[in-house]
A and B are shown apart, each in its own frame.
Chain A
Amino acid sequence: MSDQTTNSIAFVADGTIPPSPPPAGETGPIKWLRENLFSNAVNSVLTILALLAIYMILAKTLPWILNGVWTTSSLAECREVLNGKVGACFSVLTERWNQLLYGFKYPVDQYWRPNLALVLLLVAIAPVLFFDLPRKLLAFTAVYPFLAFWLIWGGTILAPIVALLGFAAGAFVFQTYGKSSFAIGFFGAIAAAFAVWLIGGALIPDGASDNAMLQAVPSRDLGGFMLNLMLGVTCVSLSLPLGIALALGRQSDMPLIKWICVVFIEFVRGVPLITLLFVASVMLAYFFPPESTVDLFLRVVIMITMFSAAYIAEVIRGGLAALPKGQYEAADSLGLDYPQAMRLIILPQALKISIPGIVNVAVGLFKDTTLVSVISMFDLVGMIRGPILASTEWNGVYWELLGFAAALFFVVCYGISQYSQWLERRLATDHR
Chain B
Amino acid sequence: MKKSVFLGAMAFAGLAAGAASAGTLDDVKARGKLNCGVTTGLVGFAAPNANGEWEGFDVAVCRAVAAAVLGDSTAVEFVPTTGKTRFTALASGEIDMLARNTTWTFSRDVDLKFEFVGVNYYDGQGFMVPKDLGVSSAKELDGATVCIQTGTTTELNLADFFRSNNISYEPVPIETNAEAQQQYLAGSCDVYTTDASGLAATRATFDDPSGHAILPEIISKEPLGPLVRHGDHEWGDVVRWTLNAMIAAEELGVTSANISEMSAGTDNPEINRLLGTEGTLGEMLGLSADWAKNAVAANGNYGEVFAKTIGEDTPVGLARGLNAQWTEGGLLYAPPFR
The answer to whether B89 and A387 have CB atoms under 8 Å apart is no
Taking the complex as formed, is A153 at the interface, i.e. its CB lies under 8 A from any CB of chain B?
A: no
Known interface pairs A376-B80, A392-B44; A285-B181 also in contact (CB < 8 Å): no
Interface string of B271-313 (1 = CB under 8 A from A): 0000000000000000000000000000000000000000000
A386 touches B (CB below 8 Å): yes
| Residue B156, interface by CB 8 Å | no
- Closest residue of chain A to B45, judged by CB? A390
Question: For residue B179, which residue of chain A has the nearest CB?
Answer: A398
A104–B52 contact, CB under 8 A? Answer: yes
Tell me how far the C-beta of B303 lies from the nearest C-beta in chain A, rounded to whole angstroms.
19
Whole-angstrom distance from the CB of A425 to the nearest CB of chain B?
43
> A110 within 8 Å of B by Cβ?
no
Q: A396 at the A/B interface (Cβ < 8 Å)?
A: yes
Does any Cβ of A come within 8 Å of B136's Cβ? no
Q: Which residues of B contact A392 (CB under 8 A)?
A: 43-44, 47, 204, 314-316
Q: Closest B-chain residue to A375, C-beta based?
A: B85
Number of interface residues of B (CB under 8 A): 39
- Complex contact A290–B93 (CB within 8 A): yes
Residue of B nearest to A373 (CB): B40
Cβ A376 vs Cβ B40 within 8 A: yes
Contact with B along A358-393 (1 / 0, CB 8 A): 000000000000000011101000100111111111
Q: Are the C-beta atoms of B201 and A395 separated by less than 8 Å?
A: yes
**Contact call A386/B41, Cβ cutoff below 8 A:** yes
**A293 cross-chain contacts in B, Cβ below 8 A:** 94
**Interface contact B88-A285, CB-CB below 8 Å:** yes
Interchain nearest-CB distance for A401 vs B (Å): 11
Q: When the two chains form their complex, are residues A386 and B80 in contact, meaning their CB atoms are under 8 A apart?
A: yes
Contact B43 A374, beta carbon cutoff 8 Å: no
Residue pair A390, B42 in contact (C-beta under 8 Å): yes
Give how many A residues have a beta carbon under 8 Å from the other chain's beta carbons. Answer: 35
Q: Does B48 contact A (CB under 8 A)?
A: yes
Q: Which of B52, B79, B92, B178 contacts A286 (CB 8 A)?
A: B92
A393 to B88: give the CA distance in the assembly, Å. 31
A31 within 8 A of B: no
CB distance from B198 to the nearest CB of A (A): 11
With A387-B40, A389-B41 known as contacts, the answer to whether A285 contacts B89 (CB < 8 A) is yes
8 Å CB contact of B88 from A286, A386, A390: A286
> From residue A103, how far is it (CB to closest CB) to chain B in Å?
8
- Asked if A96 lies at the interface with its beta carbon under 8 angstroms from chain B, I say yes
Partner of B205, one of A95, A375, A396: A396
Docked pose: A378 CA to B48 CA in angstroms: 12
Give the contacting residue for B48; candidates A75, A79, A104, A220; CB below 8 A.
A104
* Residue B84 at the chain A interface, CB threshold 8 Å: yes
Complex contacts, A396 vs chain B, CB 8 Å: 181, 205-206
Contact between chains at B85 and A390 (CB < 8 Å): no
Question: CB < 8 Å: which of B42, B52, B93 contacts A105?
Answer: B52
Bound Cα distance from A76 to B316, whole angstroms: 12
Give, as a whole number of angstroms, the nearest-CB distance from A396 to chain B.
Answer: 3
Q: Is A282 an interface residue (CB 8 A)?
A: yes
Q: Does B264 touch A at the CB level, under 8 Å?
A: no
| Interface membership of A281, Cβ < 8 A | yes
Does A289 belong to the interface (CB within 8 Å)? Answer: yes
Asked whether, in the complex, the Cβ of B201 is within 8 Å of the Cβ of A382, the reply is: no
| CB-based contact A79/B41 at 8 Å | no
Q: How far is the CB of B163 from chain A (nearest CB, A)?
A: 33
Hey, what's the 0/1 contact readout for A203-221 against B, CB within 8 Å counting as 1? Answer: 0000000000000000010
Chain A residues whose CB sits within 8 angstroms of the CB of B50 once the complex forms? 95-96, 99, 391, 393
Interchain nearest-CB distance for B306 vs A (Å): 14
What CA separation (Å) do A389 and B49 show in the bound complex? 11
CA A282 to CA B94, docked complex, whole Å: 10
Nearest CB on B from A29, distance (A): 42
Docked CA distance A393–B17 (Å): 43
Closest to B80 in A: A376
Contacts of B206 in A (CB 8 A): 396
A76: which B residues are within 8 A, CB to CB? 315
Decide if B41 touches A390 in the complex (CB within 8 Å): yes
Known A278-B84, A395-B201; further 4 A-B contacts with Cβ < 8 A: A99-B50, A376-B40, A385-B41, A391-B41
Residue pairs across A and B with Cβ atoms less than 8 A apart, 21 shown, are: A99-B48, A99-B50, A99-B52, A104-B48, A105-B48, A281-B85, A282-B84, A285-B88, A290-B92, A291-B20, A374-B84, A382-B40, A385-B40, A386-B40, A390-B43, A390-B47, A392-B315, A392-B316, A393-B50, A395-B202, A396-B206
